[in-house]
Amino acid sequence: MTTPIGANAIIAGKCIVIGCVGLLESASLILLMRCLFRIRIEGSAFLLAAIVPLLVLSPIGFGLLIASKAKSQVQVLQLTQVVFLPSVMLSGFIWPREFLAYPINLVGSLLPATYLVALCRAIVLRGSGAVQAAPHIGIATLFGVGLFLGGFFAMRRSLRP
């Protein structure tokens, strides 16, 4: 907090780093999917590349929210597990959401990862185009922008002297 740079520069630095790491991870996973596992992209590879920033926007927002609330690195690690573990478990990434009990399925529908997983599956496995994927793209965009703005303002508030 003794740095001469402002709150916006601190937030931008966090976002740029998290965004670059997320984009590199996404690109690496797509390359592994194609080259190592020989999984064809049934839909448009351009559409898949266009939605990759959506895959990164929600975690950036969550990261900013967590950083704004945590007082130590241990708290950051604990809050990250509390947020991301249910996101992975309830998103349909590990097992189909249709087999989850109703209240748990409802909680899963409130998580951005659910729509991002469905969006990636629609493009990669089913060959959906932009028109078929539009509902998932819209919901993922709303989640991403909402979480990012919430995290941005929470982080600014926590950086005020």
pLDDT, one tens digit per residue, over 18-77 is 899 999 999 999 999 999 999 999 999 999 998 988 889 998 999 999 999 998 999 999
Task: Judge whether 1 lies within some domain.
Answer: no
How many structural domains is the chain composed of?
Answer: 1
Task: Judge whether 92 lies within some domain.
Answer: yes
Residue 60 confidence (pLDDT): 92
Average pLDDT, the chain: 90
Report the 10 Å Cβ neighbour count for 70.
16
Instruction: Say whether pLDDT at 16 is over 90.
Output: yes
Structural domain of 48: 7-159
Task: Judge whether 121 lies within some domain.
Answer: yes
Alpha-carbon gap, residue 135 to 139, rounded angstroms: 6
pLDDT tens digits, one per residue of 84-100: 898 889 998 888 888 88
Angle separating helix axes 45-69 and 7-31, nearest 10 degrees:
140
Task: Judge whether 123 lies within some domain.
Answer: yes
Task: Judge whether 106 lies within some domain.
Answer: yes
Single-letter amino acid, residue 133: A
Task: Judge whether 130 lies within some domain.
Answer: yes
pTM of the model: 0.85
